[in-house]
Amino acid sequence: MTKVPAKPAAPVSVSDVARLAEVSPATVSRAFNNPGLLGAPTLERVQRAAKQLGYQPYGLARSLRSRRSMVVGIVMPSLRYAYYSGTLELLQSLLAREGYTLLLSSSNHDPQIELEGVRAMMSQGVDGVILFGRPLNDESAPLLAQRGVPYIRCWAALPNEASVAFDHSAAMADVVEHLVALGHRQFAMVMPFVALGDRFRGRLNAIRETLAKHGLAIANDAIVEDGGLDAEAGRLAYQTLQARGVQATAVICSNDLIAAGVILACQACGLQVPADVSVTGYNDSGLARAFEPAITSVDTPVDLHAQEVARVMLAVLRREAPAPTIRLPTHLRVRQSTGLAPREL
């Protein structure tokens, strides 16, 4: 009697390991491709399940067959600012659910480092790239396009480029209209364009254009653009305005931390906010809501931003649709840091 050979067992899959370890398949993938992204207990649980099942990863062979690395690159201008790091954290989580690993390059607002980061990502064979913010190096995006690497820009937009961005110009117009309606006619602005590497100064242009509609203007010496991004920078910026002899009843700031520093500087020299000076922030962070006085700020929702960027990037990678141009809404959150303009300076 001829003995029928036993049917070979099906190879152990990522899903098998995930079920035993009680984690997602994406977590199993990271355990073998980027173990540093996982906590020690989770990594140990995945490794134990893989050993028990006899699982051997074939990630390289699988990527060669599909010509996909399952890695998305993101080029960030910095990680110092909470909004940037918050967006990065959520993007990483959203992409991981679909099995993608996020490869980070932070340029620290240096144009050459940005370009080198893009080149490094292409050499690693990433499936796509997310460019965060305004371009620092004019070669970065064209290089990706030339090599056929799908990319989208987020947070800020350029004409004729695929992006998921907020309309910062419209947001600034809302801020100015709010202050003008309160009777303000003398303005100052603290926006560190130099530190941000923002060559376009779109928010400044929007402020000037909106003021011009009311027959108003902002003087050049009432603009501080060479400071940092934190509260100390805001405090120093207001001192600079005072040293220049600038008398403003409203100060428009680049973010909530800077706005908090401006308010502290006002209080230190005996000015009341908003009775003497109104101050606005940007991004509507937790600080804006918790500060005293609470800061009037532009809400640019982190969750909405990250979710839309992830959705669009995944659609592009799946070739479901060409990269679109999407403008996300902003909302002016009026709080106690803005009020009626004083009758006299």
The amino acid occupying position 220 is N
- Strand 331-333 and strand 297-299: pairing? antiparallel
Query: Smallest Cα–Cα separation from 69: which of 107, 35, 91, 101?
Result: 101
Q: Name the pLDDT band for 126 (thresholds 50, 70, 90).
A: very high
d(CA 157, CA 153): 7
Name which residue leads in pLDDT, 30 or 296: 296
pLDDT tens per residue, range 301-326: 999 999 999 999 999 998 877 888 99
Is it the case that residue 81 has pLDDT exceeding 90? no
| pLDDT at 4 > cutoff 70 | no
Is domain 69-166+301-330 classified as CATH 3.40.50.2300?
yes
**Mean of per-residue pLDDT scores for the chain:** 89
pTM across the whole model? 0.78
Looking at 64-73, 122-131, 176-185, 321-330, which range is the least confident one? 64-73
Cα distances (angstroms) measured from residue 112 to each of 108, 116, 174, 207: 10, 6, 35, 30
Of the chain, the percentage scoring pLDDT greater than 70 comes to 92
How do residues 255-264 score in pLDDT, each as one tens digit?
999 999 999 9
CATH 1.10.260.40 domain residues, the chain: 14-62
Spacing of C-alpha 10 from chain mean position: 44
CATH number for the region 14-62 comes to 1.10.260.40
Delimiting residues of CATH 3.40.50.2300 domain(s) in the chain: 69-166+301-330, 168-299
Distance CA 268, CA 254 (A): 21
% residues pLDDT > 90 (the chain): 66
Cα angle, residue 249 at apex, residues 247 and 250 outer, rounded to 5°: 115
Residue 249: HSE in the Cβ half-sphere, 13 Å Cα cutoff? 18
Beta bridge partners of 152: 130
Q: What does the pLDDT read at residue 207?
A: 96
Q: In whole angstroms, how far apart are CA 159 and each of 45, 117, 243, 298, 325? A: 48, 23, 39, 23, 9
Q: Is the dihedral of CA 26, 27, 33, 38 positive or negative?
A: positive
Task: Specify the pLDDT at position 235.
Answer: 97
Mean pLDDT of 108-125: 92
Kindly indicate the confidence band of residue 204, based on its pLDDT and cuts at 50, 70 and 90.
very high
- The tens digit of pLDDT for each residue in 220-243 reads 999 999 888 899 999 999 999 999
Q: Quick one: which of 96, 98, 120, 117 has its CA closest to 107?
A: 117
Three-state secondary structure call for residue 320? coil
Q: Which of 58-62, 170-174, 175-179, 242-246 has the lowest mean pLDDT?
A: 58-62
Q: Which CATH class is domain 168-299?
A: alpha beta
In contact, 281 and 259? CB cutoff 8 Å: yes
Mean pLDDT of 16-45: 84
Q: 3-class SS at 298?
A: strand
